[in-house]
Amino acid sequence: MKDLLPEKSPLWLLVYHTAENIAKAYGFGYMETPILESTQLFVRSLGKATDVIDKEMYTFEDKDGSKVSLRPEATASIARAYINHGMHNRPQPVKVWYWGQMFRHDRPQAGRYRQFHQFGCETLGQRDPVIDAELIAVSYNFLFDLGISTEVHINSIGSLEDRKNYTVELVGYLRSKRTYLCADCKRRMVKNPLRVLDCKEEECRNVIEEAPQIVDWLSAESRAFFMKVLEYLDELQVPYVLRSTLVRGLDYYTDTVFEFYTEKGEEGAQSALGGGGRYDGLIEQLGGRPTPAAGFSMGIERVISELTRDKEGRKEFENPYDGTMQIFFAQLGEQARRRMLRLIEELRRKGILVGSNLAKTSLKTQLELANSLKSTHTVILGQKEVQDGTVIIRDMSSGIQEIVDQKKIEQELRKIIAAK
């Protein structure tokens, strides 16, 4: 646990505002949850056999005899808040971002602290591969905007049923190699077999490299979903590396999982800056309705460490997000969705804020969402516009529509913003 002194605060504030701006650019609303939560919230969501629950949580008995814990992460709290506040009644998906302190009784080492900060985004209420790709793009571009070049490692761990079937096969294999496993992995093999795949000990690496791969146990639906995520990442021009042993450390994850890596520092600090994935069963597990969701978190201390480790070659930070005009993008059809992904990304990098819901397919639904967000203009892209190289810009108050060449869209949107 560390103090933040005045001379260090400018860099922290820069990172905070970068997080705030990138989240706003992608249409996420800010949300806070309590630092103290019921211990059972984390036990039910993270899994009893995880290291976080087993040995890392700060837990206390309250004056009324109930057990409370300092939050070790934020996703469980946001899922709980989604249930408590009836957020399923809002337009779906609900997109929120957060920044705050987390606590884990971790072994002190480079890059790890017992009190640490996380920035994260969560998208709740819809299952669509484009949501997973967007979250990866948000986190990738957060680091990109800070001048940090990273490698996205990605995998699919499938549905709960896929994991159950795979775990049986994995345990059988690990038992045959038990002699070659470290002490921690011998324990994990019984309590949480998938965590063996994440072991960094040299003695376990050869065993892990020869282990059965979860991709071979994915259902047709999970496999198709994952392939779509990768296709959207290609469209967004986000580079990635397929890593079959990536599983993440918490029980609530399903399907897509990902982490962000950069090179190690001189002191050997861990290279993972953050990660996330899909957790379609968590909200129902906590007593809510069946609700698909996905998200990511970024370790701010690790990001700061990377920024201060090597300043050479880093670009000067510029805040491109000065405009506050909310322009909404609506699409019709798969080709239009793919083209719109690229358009939105190009505009965001040029500092133009836009809203969208690429998971929706109905134009009526998207226009209703644009109205609820108080958007003044909606850019509409259908199959015909893709073929013609145009877009339709609709004035939401008058209903007047104008056809614009896609090459001139930035120029036209800047005129709209300037006329606000």
User: Which residues line the annotated binding site for L-histidine?
Assistant: 73-75, 104, 118, 122, 248, 252-253
Residue 277 Rama label (left phi>0; alpha psi -120 to 50; beta):
left
The encoded tokens of residue 74 equal: 């934020």
Cβ-based neighbours of 383, under 8 Å, separated by 6 or more: 332, 333, 335, 336
d(CA 207, CA 201): 11
Total count of residues recorded for the chain: 420
Give the residue numbers of the binding site: 73-75, 104, 118, 122, 248, 252-253
The encoded tokens of residue 330 equal: 């609506």
Beta bridge pairs of residue 404: 391
The encoded tokens of residue 302 equal: 């690790």
d(CA 128, CA 401): 29
Cβ-based neighbours of 62, under 8 Å, separated by 6 or more: 68
d(CA 121, CA 97): 4
d(CA 171, CA 160): 16
Helix/strand/coil for 339:
helix
d(CA 261, CA 206): 21
Please give the helix or strand (H or E) that residue 77 lies within, else none. Answer: helix 75-84
